[in-house]
Amino acid sequence: MPEDVWLIALKNLDDDARAVKLGEIAELELAAEQQDFAGDPLRMMLVALEEDSRVPYVVDSGGTAVGVLTLQRGAASLAGWADDESVWLLRGFLIDRRRQGQGLGTLAASAAVREAAKLTARLGGGEAGVVLSVNERNPAGQAAYRKAGFEDRGQYFGGNAGPQRTMYRAF
């Protein structure tokens, strides 16, 4: 049974707490096969902190960072979605290589959908779910998203590392 995960919005932390979490994020490691699909976790979080449309989260388990993800408003076409306004984009999602295979990715993906629903309720807007793209050469990622309730909506050729699968889950 996997541990619980918590999504901690980096923008909601005070400077000291954010610095601690960013330090933990800097220690996350990518598996060799992730290098083609994921960017540097610290860099992704720093970029997301600077953009109003992005809400960066640290994925926390057992009191420490085990991954990161970002929810972005108005950017769903980056994952092959037909429009940018009807869903949140889940991007920059990764779990530390040392913690993969424990179900944390599935738990975090489900938590991201719940967070997106809360953001929509708080901020207003017409989003009805979350979309993402996952590389076709990443079967473990695809399986984790399916376990989290995401449905495959077809192939997308916009990714930098080859064909992607567009996946969607309603709130």
Place of tokens 């923008």: 11
Neighbours of 31 (CB within 10 A): 15
Task: Write the pLDDT tens digit of every residue in 1-48.
Answer: 457 999 999 999 999 999 999 999 999 999 887 777 788 999 999 999
**Does 82 score more than 60 pLDDT?**
yes
* Burial profile 37-51: b = 16 or more Cβ within 10 angstroms, e = fewer: bbbebbebbeebeee
Q: What is the pLDDT of residue 2?
A: 57
Alpha-carbon distances, residue 53 vs 26, 72, 89, 100, 112 (angstroms): 23, 6, 10, 28, 16
Task: Write the pLDDT tens digit of every residue in 121-146.
Answer: 999 989 999 999 999 988 988 999 99
What's the predicted TM-score (pTM) here? 0.94
DSSP 51: -
**Rounded to the nearest 5 degrees, what angle is found at the Cα of 40, between the Cα atoms of 38 and 45?**
105
